[in-house]
Amino acid sequence: MDQVTYQTREMAAARDAEELRARGQRLLELATRASCEQSYDFARLLTQLATEVFAHARDLEQAYVSVATPSLSRVPGARRR
């Protein structure tokens, strides 16, 4: 049962991060278009938003990895050096 839950959470986190990155990519495409149309302030805003979206995707993956990976203190029989 834990195996199924683990895989479901892992797939959901990966899917969410992938979706965020796709949205970030779209924001960068819009920023490029705005820059070509000489809307530099709008392009800068879109670029900043894309950066925040990519950071959120990274944080989502890291948060999942830190929860999914047990620390050595919780692993029975693990020794510290």
pLDDT for res 42: 97
Residue 57 belongs to a domain = yes
Confidence class for position 81, pLDDT limits 50, 70, 90: very low
Per-residue pLDDT tens digits for 3-62 = 555 567 777 888 999 999 999 999 999 999 999 999 999 999 999 999 999 999 999 988
19: CB partners within 8 A, 6+ apart? none
Residue 51 belongs to a domain = yes
Residue 55 belongs to a domain = yes
The parent domain of residue 56 ranges over 25-65
What is the count of structural domains for the chain? 1
Residue 8 belongs to a domain = no
Residue 75 belongs to a domain = no
pLDDT for res 14: 85
Residue 79 belongs to a domain = no
